[in-house]
Structure 1
Amino acid sequence: MKRKLIKIFLLLMCTAMAASCSEDEELDISQIDFNPNNWESGELDKWLHSNFVVPYNIEVKYRFDRYEVPLDRVLAPVREDKVIPVMETIKYTWIDPYEAEGGSTFIKKLSPKQFVLVGSASYNDNGTITLGTAEGGRKVVLFVINNFDKTAKGEVRQMLHTIHHEFAHILHQTVMYPQSYRTISTGYTASWNDYSLAEARARGFISQYARSNPDEDFVEMVSIMLIEGRAGFNAIVNSSPAEAQPLLRQKEQIVVQYFKDAWNIDFYSLQTRTQTAINTL
Structure 2
Amino acid sequence: MKINMYKILLLLSITAFISCSEDDEINDKSILDTATPELSELDQWIRQEYVNPYNIEVIYEWSEYEFSIERYLYPATKENVQPALEVVKHIWIDSYTEVGGEDFVKNIAPRQLALSGGFNTNPEGTITLGFAEGGKKIVLFNVDFIDYSSRENIQRFLNTIQHEYTHILNQTKPFNEQAFGEITPTSYNPNWYEETDSAANEEGFVTAYASSSIIEDFAEMVATFLKYDNDGWNDFIDNISNPQARQDIRAKESMMAEYFNQAFGIDVYELQAIVQEHTDEVI
1:104 and 2:105 matched:
no
Secondary structure at 1:60 match in 2: strand
Secondary structure at 2:128 match in 1: strand
> Does the Cα contact within 8 Å between 1:132 and 1:141 map onto a contact in 2?
yes
Q: Tell me by how many angstroms 1:40 deviates.
A: 5.3
**Which residue of structure 2 lines up, in the alignment, with residue 183 of structure 1?**
182
**Which residue of structure 1 lines up, in the alignment, with residue 278 of structure 2?**
277
Secondary structure at 2:207 match in 1: coil
Out of 81, 84, 98, the residue aligned to residue 83 of structure 1 is 81
Secondary structure at 1:199 match in 2: helix
Deviation per CA, 1:213-259: give whole Å up to 9, x if none.
Answer: 11111111011101123222212210112221111111111111111
> Which has the bigger relative contact order, CA under 8 A and spacing at least 6?
1
Q: Tell me by how many angstroms 1:108 deviates.
A: 0.7
Cα distance in structure 1, aligned partners of 2:263 and 2:127: 35
Cα distance in structure 1, aligned partners of 2:276 and 2:247: 24
1:65 and 2:63 matched:
yes
Question: Which residue identity lines up with residue 276 of structure 2 in the other structure?
Answer: Q
Cα distance in structure 2, aligned partners of 1:129 and 1:189: 18
Cα distance in structure 2, aligned partners of 1:77 and 1:215: 30
Q: Tell me by how many angstroms 1:105 deviates.
A: 1.8
> Does the Cα contact within 8 Å between 2:210 and 2:217 map onto a contact in 1?
yes
**Which residue of structure 2 lines up, in the alignment, with residue 204 of structure 1?**
204
1:44 and 2:45 matched:
no
**Which residue of structure 2 lines up, in the alignment, with residue 21 of structure 1?**
none
> Does the Cα contact within 8 Å between 1:86 and 1:150 map onto a contact in 2?
no
**Which residue of structure 2 lines up, in the alignment, with residue 29 of structure 1?**
none
Cα gap change, 1:147 to 1:198, in 2 (>3 Å): closer
1:195 and 2:195 matched:
yes
1:257 and 2:255 matched:
no
> Which stretches of structure 1, 4 residues or more, deviate above 4 A after TM superposition?
none
Question: Which residue identity lines up with residue 201 of structure 1 in the other structure?
Answer: N
The share of aligned pairs that are identical, in percent, is 38
TM-score normalized by structure 1? 0.82
Select the structure of larger CA radius of gyration. 2
**Which residue of structure 1 lines up, in the alignment, with residue 153 of structure 2?**
155
Secondary structure at 1:243 match in 2: helix
Cα distance in structure 1, aligned partners of 2:273 and 2:106: 22
Cα distance in structure 2, aligned partners of 1:239 and 1:44: 44
Out of 118, 121, 135, the residue aligned to residue 120 of structure 1 is 118
> Does the Cα contact within 8 Å between 1:97 and 1:270 map onto a contact in 2?
yes
1:222 and 2:226 matched:
no
Secondary structure at 2:147 match in 1: coil
Q: Any stretches of 5+ residues in structure 2 without a counterpart?
A: 1-36
Q: Tell me by how many angstroms 1:102 deviates.
A: 0.6
Cα distance in structure 2, aligned partners of 1:75 and 1:252: 36
Deviation per CA, 1:180-215: give whole Å up to 9, x if none.
Answer: 222111311212222222331122111111111111
TM-score normalized by structure 2? 0.82
> Does the Cα contact within 8 Å between 2:130 and 2:164 map onto a contact in 1?
no
Q: Relative to structure 2, which stretch is displaced further, 189-198 or 243-252? A: 189-198
Cα distance in structure 1, aligned partners of 2:150 and 2:198: 26
Deviation per CA, 1:134-181: give whole Å up to 9, x if none.
Answer: 221211111111122323212211111111111111112222223422
Cα distance in structure 2, aligned partners of 1:278 and 1:200: 27
**Which residue of structure 1 lines up, in the alignment, with residue 249 of structure 2?**
248
Cα distance in structure 2, aligned partners of 1:156 and 1:255: 23
Cα distance in structure 2, aligned partners of 1:64 and 1:194: 33
Cα distance in structure 2, aligned partners of 1:131 and 1:113: 19
Secondary structure at 2:175 match in 1: coil
Cα gap change, 1:208 to 1:264, in 2 (>3 Å): same
